[in-house]
Amino acid sequence: MPVNDLGACTPELKKLVHLMNRHLENLEKLFSEEAKEIFEKYNECVNEYNYAIREQAFHSGFSLGTKLTSEAFAVSE
């Protein structure tokens, strides 16, 4: 499963995405069909984990921002 470019990436991130995809292609050439299936399942789990972590980080950041904003308004009154 290739790594997707998120669009608004810096040149450094675009280069990293390119390298990741190139290494993934080289690695998959070495795998048997069974190993490819196992590796794909592993990648799906990693992607789900990363999504959950990003979601949790967004939630934590949003909550912190809301608390800071409410404290700022409470102090100014």
At 2-34, the pLDDT tens digits run 666 566 678 888 898 899 999 999 999 999 999
Question: How far is it, in rounded angstroms, from Cα 40 to Cα 64?
Answer: 36
Are 39 and 28 within 8 A, CB to CB? yes
Give the position of tokens 């912190």. 64
Q: Percentage of residues in the chain with pLDDT exceeding 70?
A: 87
* Average pLDDT value for residue range 54-74: 93
The pLDDT value recorded for residue 49 is 96
Residue, of 53 and 73, whose pLDDT is higher: 53
d(CA 69, CA 30): 53
Three-state DSSP at 10 gives coil
* Distance of alpha carbon 44 from alpha carbon 1, whole angstroms: 9
Cβ atoms of 42 and 27 closer than 8 Å: no
* Predicted confidence (pLDDT) at residue 69 exceeds the cutoff of 60: yes
